[in-house]
Amino acid sequence: MKRLLLTLTLLIAAAQAPAQPTAKPLSAQDRWVITGKGPSEFLAGQRKAIFRDNVHLDARPEMELNCQLMTAFMGATNRFEKIEAERDLVIKIYETKDGQTKTRIATAASGVYVAATDTVTLIGSARLEDEMGVLTAEKIHYNRATGDVRTEGDYKMESKPRPAADRRNP
């Protein structure tokens, strides 16, 4: 199963089970589409692309990313090496396991993805949410390769109530 860019798990999940990442870096993604409402620039000499205004990166079935400004830095093989997403960042991550699809939502003022280390940093009122709970902090670092999550600044972790069926088996 491919996972893309920001397969984010909350600290709660990390504490309950060892990480077994199967994520595929965005640079290796087979299919993606970027759309926007504003001007875009493709700076071949700098191996950089800049997308503005209502930017939408569609890499379903793995994820979708929305922001107001996205800068993509390309390597020699025209694969993403780094992506910077700024202003109103919202990421939806879709994970399918055992026939069920779960959605995780990450939001922040901005974020940076580095393909070489398969890491994501959410900056400014960062928030991760899934069916297990919510993690908020000024900055959240997530290493997809190891499953490690680290926060900077004040943080809050809040679990969601478990369904009644799960409460029978503590």
Give the domain ranges of the chain.
Answer: 11-167
Backbone angles phi, psi at 12, to 5 degrees: -60, -45
Q: Please give the pLDDT value at position 19.
A: 37
Q: Please give the pLDDT value at position 63.
A: 79
Q: Say if residues 93 and 104 touch (Cβ distance below 8 Å).
A: yes
Q: What is the pTM of this model?
A: 0.75
Q: Please give the pLDDT value at position 142.
A: 81
Q: Please give the pLDDT value at position 134.
A: 94
Pick the CATH number of 11-167 from 3.30.70.1060, 2.40.10.10, 2.60.450.10, 2.60.40.10: 2.60.450.10
Residue 22: C-alpha distances to residues 10, 18, 92, 97, 140 (Å)? 16, 13, 18, 12, 21
pLDDT in tens, the chain (170 residues): 223 222 222 222 333 333 343 455 555 556 789 999 999 999 999 999 999 999 999 987 777 899 999 999 998 887 888 999 999 999 887 777 788 888 889 999 999 988 888 888 999 999 988 888 999 999 999 887 777 889 999 999 999 887 666 555 55
